[in-house]
Structure 1
Amino acid sequence: MKKIAVLTSGGDSPGMNAAVRAVTRKAIYNNIEVYGVYQGYQGLLNDNIEKLELGSVGDTIQRGGTFLYSARCPEFKDADVRKKGIENLRKRDIEGLVVIGGDGSYRGAQRISEECKEIQTIGVPGTIDNDINGSDFTIGFDTALNTIIDSVDKIRDTASSHARTFIIEVMGRDCGDLALWAGLSVGAETIILPEVNVDIKDVAEKIDNGIKRGKKHSIVMVAEGCMSGEACAKELSKYINIDTRVSVLGHIQRGGSPSGADRVLASRLGGHAVELLLSGKTAVGVGIMNNELTDTPFDEIFNAKNQKFEHSIYNLAKELSI
């Protein structure tokens, strides 16, 4: 293998730059030329591709976001459109493509591997939602988690001062890991997730019982994929008369300098992606499971039956929030 390309796609996550850096430097160490695709799959269609050198990724490991930029490209689902992107790789004799992103980004990589056998594709899980099968953790999850914890710690001061119930809405469309882990970390009274059916009447009763035994404030953690914070507040008001406030943390969860854990994870996964290309692997996503580097075929990653959810953590959070 002489040439590879790397791109970031979908929602940005802290640590993407560290992953690009690892891919670039690991490849150059193995005498492979590296090309950066700017603006994700849209950049692949627009031929916005430039050769990367060692210096291209200098001073990037500590930066949030992605210096390669990212963009949504729904038209890449069309086979005729993909041909244009594939041709832009072929004309540079690129033999491998590393895609850093989430589920949709992986699907684009899978299609390329199916339609162009001479180009190997590897997925690297870059998403704060932690919603990619085949890896215990995704790049950006730890940083986003710590951002939420820091924010809620500050909100709790106000909640305590005014004896209010605060409803915190965090990201997580189909996966509630951010809400789950953050909820456990901040001692939330209730965690509402897409994976678990929760009766709002029971939530109201729990808050009311806490008030009766002297609690001055409560924290309710809600994953956006389950319901909005405002909808949660409205539903609670049907069963209990309390002073509530809603905080939607929004896109601050995606930003910021990556944590040490995310920098190490991104470096390990990026380096492993290059190793897999050199070994001839294609159409797989890299991951880390039980602290061991792994690779999982895209078909298995997309299989909903393999969707992970830490029931033990959820049950522990319930037991500790009595």
Structure 2
Amino acid sequence: MKRIGVLTSGGDSPGMNAAVRAVVRKAIYHEIEVYGIYHGYSGLINGEIKKLEVGSVGDIIHKGGTMLYTARCPEFRTPEGQKKGVENLKKFGIEGLVVIGGDGSYRGAQKLTEHGFPTIGVPGTIDNDIPGTDFTIGFDTALNTVIQAIDKIRDTATSHERTYVVEVMGRDAGDIALWSGLADGAESILIPEAGFDMDQIISRLKRGHQRGKRHSIIIVAEGVGSGVEIGKAIQEKAKMETRVTVLGHVQRGGSPTAFDRVLASRLGARAVELLLEGKEARTVGIQSNKIIDFDIDEALSQKHTIDSEMYKLSQELSI
């Protein structure tokens, strides 16, 4: 293999740039040309493809977002769109592709492999919802962004003696909510994997109020529902002054943490190695701090789960 491509797709996440850098420099180290595909699968269909050099990825390891940009592409879900993408890859002489993104990006990679084009997936999403890997690129940075925000919210919650509901991202996964809630001592954590009982939440709030507690933090994963609506329900039932903060896309931005930079570098480099080994339809990940790879079909067929022991602990510590 003498020429490979790399693209980022789906929602951006801090550390994507570090992964792109690793792919480019690992490949060039092994005397392989690298072509960047801009705007994800949309750019693949439209031929937005450009050769990358060592200097092309200089000074990006510390930057959030993705230098290759990203976009949604409904057209690539069709066989016609997929064929256009493969034709452009062949037109540029690209023999293998690294796709950095979440499960939607993985489905695109899966389709390319079905069309006979070697593709490797790298998990880049703040949601941490890719089965088979302990962590995805961007999760740690997003988590720390949320924690910093909750720390600030707790200060004003204490000053005004209020209950604050904080809605965090994660799509259908509750990892950001669970980890940030445990790290910040939230009174209740609402995640889609476990459901919730509003009466229990109200009971916990009132029990805390009775023992002299004057403020509370409740974390809501967006997959559960609207934080605004949940905040209204709490205020009406608990008769406590309640405010809602929806953190939104601020969680996707910012300079990646050291953990995400190192993880992205390790995963991006391993993806190149897999292509050199003649592998295809694989995805890379990390388990117990070891870089692993497994079938991309396996990743897409499994259901995301949370750490049930961690969730139980969060409930025990929020009495």
TM-score > 0.5, shorter chain as reference: yes
Residue pair 2:193, 2:305 contacting (<8 A) in 1 also:
no
Given residue 217 of structure 2, which amino acid in structure 1 is its aligned partner?
A: I
Match of 1:171 in 2: 169
Q: Aligned to 1:174, what secondary structure does the other structure show? A: coil
Farther off after superposition, 295-304 or 268-277: 295-304
- How many residues matched? 319
Query: Is 2:195–2:224's contact at 8 Å kept on the other side of the alignment?
Result: no
Which residue of structure 1 lines up, in the alignment, with residue 53 of structure 2?
53
SS of the aligned residue for 1:191 comes to: strand
CA distance in 1: counterparts of 2:67 and 2:195, whole angstroms: 40
Letter in 2 for 1:60: I
TM-superposed CA distance for 1:304, in Å, is 3.3
TM-score of the superposition, structure 1-length normalised? 0.98
Confirm or deny: 8 A CA contact 1:201 1:236 kept in the other structure. no
Partner of 1:236: 234
> Do 1:130 and 1:177's aligned partners in 2 also have CA atoms closer than 8 Å?
yes
1:318 equivalenced with 2:315 (yes/no): yes
1:5-35: CA deviation from partner (whole Å, max 9, x where unpaired): 0000000000000000000000000010000
Partner residue in 1 for 2:150: 152
Question: Who is 2:89 aligned against?
Answer: 89
- Paired residue type of 1:315: K
Amino acid at match of 1:320: L
Distance 1:52 1:256 in 2: 24
Structure 1: how far apart are the matches of 2:54 and 2:209? Answer: 59
Instruction: Show CA shifts across 1:88-142 (max 9, x none).
Output: 0001221110000000000000000001x2x210000000000001110000000
Q: Distance in 2 between matches of 1:162 and 1:237?
A: 15
TM-score (norm 2): 0.99
Instruction: Name the CA distance, whole Å, in 2 between partners of 1:28 and 1:206.
Output: 57
Q: CA deviation at 1:238?
A: 4.1
Runs of 4+ in structure 1 deviating by more than 3 angstroms, as ranges, are none
Assess if the C-alpha contact under 8 Å between 2:189 and 2:220 holds in 1: yes
Give the CA RMSD over aligned residues.
0.8
SS of 2:237's partner is: coil
Aligned residue in 1 for 2:111: 111
User: What aligned pairs does 1:145-294 form with structure 2 within 5 A after superposition?
Assistant: 145-294=143-292
Following the alignment from structure 2 to structure 1, what is the Cα–Cα distance between the partners of residues 94 and 59?
Answer: 26
Q: Secondary structure at the match of 2:238?
A: coil
Distance in 1 of aligned mates of 2:164 and 2:123: 32
In 2: Cα distance, 1:236 partner to 1:216 partner: 15
Say which SS state the counterpart of residue 5 (structure 1) adopts.
Answer: strand
CA distance, structure 1, for counterparts of residue 18 and residue 235 of structure 2: 45
Contact persistence 1:165–1:218 (CA under 8 A): yes
Offset from partner CA, 1:274-300 (integer Å, 9 cap, x none)? 011111111111000111111121111
Partner of 2:36 in structure 1?
36
Amino acid at match of 2:316: E
Aligned AA for 1:177? D
1:75 CA drift (Å): 1.4
Structure 1: stretches of 5+ with no match in the other structure: none
- Write the letter of the residue equivalent to 1:274: V
CA contact (8 A) 1:134 1:285 kept: no
The Cα offsets for residues 127-159 of structure 1, whole Å up to 9 and x where unpaired, read as 000000111000000000000000010010000
> 3-state SS of the aligned residue for 1:106?
helix
Distance 1:145 1:161 in 2: 25
Per the alignment, residue 16 of structure 1 pairs with 16
Is 1:295–2:293 an aligned residue pair?
A: yes
1:222 and 1:123 map into 2 onto residues whose CA distance is: 30
Shift of 1:227: 1.2
Cα deviation, residue 308, structure 1: 2.8
